[in-house]
Structures are given as structure tokens and as C-alpha cells.
Amino acid sequence: MSHPELNPILHNQAPVPLLVIISGPSGVGKDTVLMRMREFGMPFHFVVTTTSRGQRPGELEGFDYNFVSKAEFETMIANNDLLEHAVVYGEYKGIPKSQVRDALASGKDVILRIDVQGAATMRKLVPDAVLIFIVPPSSAELANRLRLRRTESAEGLEQRMALAEAEMGRVDEFDYVVMNPESRPDEAASMIQAIIRAEKSRIRPRRIKL
Ligand SMILES: Nc1ncnc2c1ncn2[C@@H]1O[C@H](COP(=O)(O)OP(=O)(O)OP(=O)(O)O)[C@@H](O)[C@H]1O
């Protein structure tokens, strides 16, 4: 008898690929942890965001972002080609559906990072995604990370901290919480890997429909 909803591992077949969403307050270390996962060569597809903003020195097309013009981005919106998009500081940012679809079709697990607001949208669009919330050891440590990054003015820092407080209150919309400990982002990276491995062993796997 066949049980198509059960884990294909039971029939010695490849597991169902996952869509994993990494979120959490600004400055908690999402990019840092994802970069460590990439550097470790973890076998996932890391989604590259498409943006209309200009390429900065040192940024690589297809690695940091896919750079397109505003007009091209607006065509993508009109054609419903994006899973999710937002305007950040007057520029578009979004996730192309085709990239996620193609990676899943090739059997790869797909990982993407998104802000807390965007994660809530994704939960509605793709209810079977695995949502992981990264937290700092303390809010003092979060403020410290933002300060050390030196990308924010004093006012910007205060705004981000206030937003972070509000975002921490939304943790119950997520499936997992992962701590990014002081100076040990590798631990957060391996915890995410452990979650993905455990998810692969579900008797009834999550199945992503886009
Ligand atoms: N485990 C850690 N311990 C100490 N510092 C860290 C740790 N992880 C990240 N950082 C530092 O904290 C700062 C913020 O990290 P990062 O830019 O990765 O955060 P983010 O969540 O991607 O932020 P944003 O949402 O604003 O893009 C960086 O300067 C980074 O080097």
C-alpha cells in the first residue's frame, strides 16, 4: 500500500525539500550566521534577493543580490513573479518565485532571510515553511552589535532597538527559536542545521506549494 503523504525515506527515496525562513530583529546576526553556513559548504540553496538599488563596491551580482532596474522590478511585480517584496529606503527588494521553485524542484532545501514583518507574510503564503527566529543573548548585546556595526546613527539605533522590542513580541508566530551566542555564530549555524535534519525525519513531511 502506498502512503504518498508519508516520508519518502520510508521507501528509500530522497526526502522532501524544505523551505527554511531565517528571521529575527535587526542586528541579531542573520547575515553573519547565514554566511557561516555558506562558508561551511552546507548543501542548501541560499536565496539571493533581487533589488533595484545600485550595486555597492565589493558586492557581487548573483551572490549578495541580483541587481535589476526599477522598471525591471516593476515588471516582475506586475507579472506576479515575486514571492514577497518590500520597499526599503526607497528601493525595491524581493524574492523571485522561480528561484525558490527551481531549487526545490532540484531537491535542494531552500534558505532565505527576511525581516520579521516579511516572515509573517511568508507564513500566510507558504504555511508549510519552517520559520526560525534568531535571538540575541540579551537586548544589551543586541544594542552592542548594532553599535559595533556602525551602520546606524544614534537616532537610527534607537529606532532599531524599539522595533526589535516589538519584533521580539512576535516570536510565537515562529516554529523555532535559535540563540546567536556572543562571538559564537557557528553555534547558531549548527543549530539551524540540526533543526533541518530533524525536520527531514518527520513521518509526515511538510510539503511546499508555491
Ligand atoms: N554571535 C555574534 N557575536 C557577536 N557579534 C555578532 C554575532 N553575530 C553577528 N555579530 C555582529 O553583529 C552585527 C550585526 O550582524 P548582522 O549584520 O549579521 O545582523 P542582521 O540580523 O543580518 O542585521 P539586519 O537585519 O540589520 O541586516 C555585525 O557587526 C556582526 O558582525
Buried b (16+ CB within 10 A) or exposed e, 70-97: eeebeebeeeebbbbbeeeeeebbbbbb
Name the least confident of 11-20, 40-49, 53-62, 150-159: 150-159
pLDDT of residue 2: 55
Indicate which residue's Cα is closest to atom 28 of ligand 1: 149
CA of 26 to the centre of ligand 1 (A): 8
Digit-coded pLDDT (tens) for 40-84: 999 999 999 999 999 999 999 999 999 999 999 999 999 999 999
Separation between Cα atoms, residue 94 and residue 74, nearest integer Å: 11
Question: Quick one: cell of 197?
Answer: 535534519
Mean pLDDT within 135-148: 90
- Segments in the chain forming alpha helices (H): 30-39, 70-78, 97-105, 116-125, 139-149, 154-168, 185-200
Ligand 1: atom nearest CA of 184 is: 1
Burial of 34 per CB tally in 10 Å (0-12, 13-18, 19+)? buried
**How remote is the C-alpha of 153 from its chain's centroid?**
26
Position 193 scores a pLDDT of: 96
Average pLDDT value over all residues in the chain: 93
ipTM score of the complex? 0.97
User: How confident is the model over 23-51, as a mean pLDDT?
Assistant: 94
Residues 6+ apart with CB under 8 A from 205: 7, 8, 15, 16, 199
Write the CATH number of the domain with boundaries 8-47+108-200. Answer: 3.40.50.300
Ligand 1 centroid, distance to 2 Cα (angstroms): 47
User: What's the gap in Å between 5 CA and the centre of ligand 1?
Assistant: 39
Residue 12: pLDDT band with limits 50, 70, 90: very high
Q: What are phi and psi of 87, to 5 degrees?
A: -105, 120
pLDDT over 90 (residue 206): yes
Neighbours of 11 (CB within 10 A): 9
The residue nearest atom 11 of ligand 1, judged by CA position, is 145
Query: What is the reported pLDDT for 198?
Result: 97
Ligand 1 center–CA 109 separation, angstroms: 24
Q: Would you place residue 3 in the very low, low, confident or very high pLDDT band (cuts 50, 70, 90)?
A: low
Q: Are strands 130-135 and 176-179 parallel, antiparallel or unpaired?
A: parallel
State the distance from the centre of ligand 1 to the C-alpha of 15, rounded, in angstroms. Answer: 32
pLDDT at 1 over 60: no
Closest of 110, 121, 111 to residue 170, by C-alpha: 121
Neighbours of 185 (CB within 10 A): 20
Query: Atom 29 in ligand 1: which residue has the minimum CA distance?
Result: 149
pLDDT of residue 148: 86
What pLDDT band is residue 159 in, cutting at 50, 70 and 90?
confident
pLDDT of residue 149: 80
Confidence of residue 210 (pLDDT cuts 50, 70, 90): confident
Ligand 1: residues whose CB is within 6 Å?
26-32, 145, 148-149, 180-185
